[in-house]
């Protein structure tokens, strides 16, 4: 991890010099000296990262190097805070001199350490041993075959694998292990965290979020991260969890607080608190943490519990990441505005009715998630957050978009903007946000739809679009989305609300890979068009088509060539009669939801050899009998599917009456 610390520290310093050029003008020479020295130290890690020599070299110097770099970053962060709180040239000059003296001492320590590293490397005369002979290749192949490096099961291959991957992937993997075991990590959340933490190698001309996405895809390809069927939720491979937790503890990467008596190191920079607010450490106020996560703390916090959390907002001046997802805090203290280095703030489902105006002092904030709260509007203060990249909103109770202030088009770094109301002139102003990659609009009305269409057509880089109708569930109608030409890179589309017919522009979406039609209640079967979208991989038809019967025309041979996930929900569907042999050649996951009247699964389902998982929630009681493995007349349709889960209608009714049920997750 030493290499990661060095590389990412250089990146942060360069970024900070650009962002705070005025404040750091008195420290330019020293910051550049640190960059130069760290660059030279980075060159010492040119040993092949796959060798034991590299691992030993890293381990020897890790702790001292990390401490010097962290102290240097703290010194500069503290300087930035003090300079922003001071006025008058005399005070500022004193601060500059004080900081220069501290940095000079740290630089001397860093130079001394670098010289010792050079001497050690020279003494050992480390040689790179490339396994390019047939014998070593054969040996490595045997080892890979025996121990399955991609899904390691013993300490030796795990350790080998961990030290053999590049430092930036290793940091990404270690970060994933912050989340509790078996905890599903939303892919978008992980991407935003990696960017906020500075754990990706920035490349000129490339979007940081895209680089983080590639890291995740690579780790999934290696098998160390496991994706769910939709590839939107991730978990660390179970065989790696214990090893990674040991590495995190050894390298002081993060500390986990799982009980009230957990001993937390005074040098901890990342802290996760699990299960109970009572597990918040008593010395929280004295810890120099930069990242804080609270996991599994449900229900409303008592006054006493909230008092334990207050140190987060008082004096945590170095905090960069604050993740309070599902923590019911009700109110956000004004002191949150003092966390000026904060880049990531997750308040998902925190039961907030409003945000304090001080939150808009967080000028370094990149990601703000306030979904599933009770916010009705954002004040004009949000326009001060010029570095904001992701603004995610959604009202908790009822279906209503959050109102935005005029001028929102000035936030030119915004990539994600969701859960908004487009009325009051906002629809046209969205046309200024041509850099947007994800847009979600609620309460869409006839008055605004034309302006929305005009604005969206200007967003040539838009990847994800969600449009939801005005009015209340379930009688809500989407206005006609015509004339419209979808952005050329559009990959995800969600439409919620009744539609008289599928829009004429649907066949134009050649890059679309994920589609949800919700409560559209189409008269004609949308699959007649959708099956010919060449890259569609994930399709959700949630009360999308009011038909009692689905036949073989739903997917002809040659249709849905790349579809991997299919979710169908319908309260009127009674029969799915037939699948042509050769239909759905790539389907892996079939989820049938809320089909209370469905009495028949299609003939031909048994031919879907790629199908890995079938979910039937709920399952008609009569159909359960016919699908049973012990004599069920239709069991042959499903007997080769590896994973089947179900819950019958009668089970659902028992649960509704408060009775426990058995068998809901068993194979039929």
DSSP letter string, 268-296: --EEEEES-GGGS-TTGGG---SEEEEES
Query: Which of the given ranges, 84-98, 134-148, 352-366, 471-485, has the highest pLDDT on average?
Result: 352-366
Number of domains in the chain: 4
How much is the pLDDT for 161?
59
Whether 78 and 23 map to the same domain: the answer is yes
- The answer to the question of residue 304 being in a domain is yes
Q: What is the pLDDT of residues 388-440, one digit of tens each?
A: 999 999 865 555 799 999 999 999 999 999 999 999 999 999 999 999 999 99
Name residue, tokens 């780790």.
219
Q: 207 or 49: which carries more pLDDT confidence?
A: 207
Share of the chain above pLDDT 70, in %: 85
In this model, does residue 535 exceed pLDDT 80? Answer: yes
**Residue 193 near residue 322, CB atoms below 8 Å:** no
How much is the pLDDT for 261?
74
Whether 224 and 267 map to the same domain: the answer is no
Q: Which of 332-346, 473-487, 494-508 has the lowest mean pLDDT?
A: 473-487
Whether 643 and 534 map to the same domain: the answer is yes
In this model, does residue 360 exceed pLDDT 80? Answer: yes
- The answer to the question of residue 299 being in a domain is yes
Whether 93 and 155 map to the same domain: the answer is no
Among residues 362, 360, 336, the alpha carbon closest in space to that of 350 is found at: 336
In this model, does residue 654 exceed pLDDT 70? Answer: yes
How much is the pLDDT for 147?
34
In this model, does residue 181 exceed pLDDT 50? Answer: yes
Last residue of a domain, one of 335, 352, 374: 374
How much is the pLDDT for 49?
52
Q: Quick count: other Cβ atoms within 10 Å of Cβ 153?
A: 12
Q: Which of 133-147, 169-183, 252-266 has the lowest mean pLDDT?
A: 133-147
In this model, does residue 354 exceed pLDDT 50? Answer: yes
Last residue of a domain, one of 212, 241, 270: 241
How much is the pLDDT for 171?
85
How much is the pLDDT for 157?
57
Range of the domain at 290: 254-374
Rg (CA), the chain: 28
- The answer to the question of residue 334 being in a domain is yes
In this model, does residue 650 exceed pLDDT 70? Answer: yes
Whether 110 and 30 map to the same domain: the answer is yes
The structure tokens listed for 533 are 């979208």
In this model, does residue 156 exceed pLDDT 50? Answer: no
Among residues 500, 503, 548, the alpha carbon closest in space to that of 521 is found at: 500
Q: What is the pLDDT of residues 189-246, one digit of tens each?
A: 999 999 999 888 888 899 999 999 999 999 998 888 988 876 789 998 887 888 888 8
Whether 666 and 603 map to the same domain: the answer is yes
Whether 275 and 236 map to the same domain: the answer is no
- How would residue 442 be classed by pLDDT, with cut points 50, 70 and 90? very high
Whether 5 and 115 map to the same domain: the answer is yes
Name residue, tokens 């790539």.
586
The pLDDT of 448-472, averaged and rounded, is 92
Residue ranges of alpha helices (H) inside 86-183 are 89-124, 134-147, 155-164, 167-176
Whether 351 and 330 map to the same domain: the answer is yes
- The answer to the question of residue 361 being in a domain is yes
- The answer to the question of residue 170 being in a domain is yes
In this model, does residue 646 exceed pLDDT 90? Answer: no
How much is the pLDDT for 630?
85
Last residue of a domain, one of 374, 403, 419: 374
- How would residue 131 be classed by pLDDT, with cut points 50, 70 and 90? very low
The pLDDT of 172-185, averaged and rounded, is 86
Whether 521 and 668 map to the same domain: the answer is yes
Q: What is the pLDDT of residues 538-549, one digit of tens each?
A: 999 999 999 999
CATH number at residue 161: 1.10.10
- How would residue 450 be classed by pLDDT, with cut points 50, 70 and 90? very high
CA distances from 334 to 117, 276, 316, 331 (A): 47, 24, 14, 9
- The answer to the question of residue 327 being in a domain is yes
Q: 595 or 298: which carries more pLDDT confidence?
A: 595
Q: How far is Cα 336 from Cα 34, in angstroms, rounded to an integer?
A: 31
Residue ranges of alpha helices (H) inside 177-289 are 187-197, 208-222, 238-250
Whether 523 and 603 map to the same domain: the answer is yes
- How would residue 142 be classed by pLDDT, with cut points 50, 70 and 90? very low
- The answer to the question of residue 496 being in a domain is no
- How would residue 152 be classed by pLDDT, with cut points 50, 70 and 90? very low
The pLDDT of 55-68, averaged and rounded, is 69
- The answer to the question of residue 188 being in a domain is yes
Whether 50 and 16 map to the same domain: the answer is yes
Share of the chain above pLDDT 90, in %: 41
Among residues 333, 339, 340, 337, the alpha carbon closest in space to that of 354 is found at: 333
Q: 55 or 515: which carries more pLDDT confidence?
A: 515
Average pLDDT, the chain: 83
In this model, does residue 585 exceed pLDDT 90? Answer: yes
In this model, does residue 84 exceed pLDDT 80? Answer: no
Query: Which of the given ranges, 33-47, 59-73, 610-624, has the highest pLDDT on average?
Result: 610-624
CATH number at residue 365: 3.80.10.10
Instruction: For residue 518, give the 3-state DSSP assignment.
Output: strand
In this model, does residue 250 exceed pLDDT 80? Answer: no
What is the dihedral angle through the alpha carbons of 3, 8, 11, 12, rounded to the nearest 10 degrees? -140
Crossing angle for the helix pair 187-197 and 208-222, nearest 10 degrees?
120
């Amino acid at each position: 991890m030493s290499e990661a610390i060095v590389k990412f520290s250089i990146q942060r310093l360069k970024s900070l010099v650009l962002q705070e050029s005025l404040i750091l003008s008195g420290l330019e020479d020293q910051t550049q000296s640190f960059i130069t020295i760290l660059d030279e130290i980075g060159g010492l890690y040119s040993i092949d990262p796959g060798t034991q020599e590299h691992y030993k070299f890293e381990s020897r110097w890790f702790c001292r190097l990390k401490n010097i770099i962290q102290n240097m970053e703290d010194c500069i962060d503290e300087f930035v805070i003090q300079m922003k709180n001071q006025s008058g040239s005399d005070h500022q000059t004193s601060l500059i001199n004080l900081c220069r003296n501290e940095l000079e001492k740290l630089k001397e320590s860093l130079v001394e350490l670098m010289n010792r590293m050079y001497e050690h490397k020279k003494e050992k005369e480390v040689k790179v041993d490339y396994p390019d002979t047939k014998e070593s290749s054969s040996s490595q192949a045997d080892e890979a075959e025996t121990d399955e490096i991609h899904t390691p099961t013993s300490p030796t291959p795990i350790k080998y694998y961990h030290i053999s991957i590049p430092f930036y992937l290793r940091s990404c993997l270690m970060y994933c292990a912050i989340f509790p075991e078996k905890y599903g990590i939303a892919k978008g959340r992980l991407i935003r965290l990696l960017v906020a933490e500075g754990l990706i190698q920035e490349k000129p001309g490339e979007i940081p979020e895209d680089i983080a996405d590639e890291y995740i895809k690579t780790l999934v390809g290696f098998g160390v991260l496991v994706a769910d069927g939709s590839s939107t939720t991730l978990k660390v491979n179970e065989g790696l969890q214990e090893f990674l937790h040991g590495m995190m503890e050894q390298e002081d990467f993060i500390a986990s607080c799982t009980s009230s008596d957990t001993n937390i190191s005074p040098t901890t920079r990342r802290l996760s608190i699990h299960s109970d607010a009572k597990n918040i450490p008593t010395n929280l106020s004295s810890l120099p943490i930069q990242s804080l996560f609270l996991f599994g703390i449900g229900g409303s916090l008592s006054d006493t519990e909230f008092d334990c959390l207050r140190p987060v907002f008082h004096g945590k001046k170095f905090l960069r990441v604050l993740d309070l997802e599902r923590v019911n805090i009700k109110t956000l203290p004004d002191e949150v505005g003092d966390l000026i280095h904060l880049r990531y703030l997750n308040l998902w489902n925190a039961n907030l009715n409003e945000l304090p105006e001080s939150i808009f002092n967080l000028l370094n904030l990149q990601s703000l998630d306030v979904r599933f709260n009770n916010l009705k509007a954002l004040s004009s203060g949000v326009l001060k957050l010029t570095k904001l990249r992701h603004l995610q909103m959604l009202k908790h109770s009822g279906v209503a978009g959050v109102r935005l202030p005029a001028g929102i088009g000035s936030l030119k770094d915004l990539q994600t903007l969701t859960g908004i109301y487009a009325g009051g002139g906002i629809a046209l102003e969205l046309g200024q946000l041509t850099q947007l990659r994800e847009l979600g609009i609620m309460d869409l009305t006839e008055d605004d739809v034309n302006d929305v269409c005009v604005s969206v057509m200007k967003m040539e880089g838009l990847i994800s679009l969600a449009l939801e109708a005005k009015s209340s569930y379930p009688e809500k109608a989407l206005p006609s989305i015509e004339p419209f030409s979808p952005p050329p890179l559009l990959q995800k589309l969600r439409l919620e609300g009744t539609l008289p017919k599928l829009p004429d522009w649907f066949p134009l979406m050649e890059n679309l890979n994920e589609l949800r039609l919700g409560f559209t209640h189409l008269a004609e079967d949308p699959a007649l068009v959708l099956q010919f979208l060449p890259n569609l991989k994930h399709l959700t038809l949630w009360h999308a088509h009011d038909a009692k019967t689905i036949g073989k025309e739903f997917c002809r041979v040659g249709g849905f060539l790349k579809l991997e996930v299919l979710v169908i929900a319908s309260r009127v569907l009674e029969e799915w009669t037939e699948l042509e042999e050769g239909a759905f050649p790539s389907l892996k996951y079939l989820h049938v939801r809320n089909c209370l009247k469905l009495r028949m699964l299609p003939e031909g389902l048994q031919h879907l050899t790629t199908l890995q998982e079938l979910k039937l929630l709920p399952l008609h009681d009569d159909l359960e009998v016919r699908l049973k493995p012990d004599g069920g007349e239709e069991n042959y349709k499903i007997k080769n599917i590896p994973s089947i889960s179900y819950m019958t209608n009668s089970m659902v009714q028992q649960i509704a009456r408060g009775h426990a049920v058995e068998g809901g997750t068993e194979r039929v």
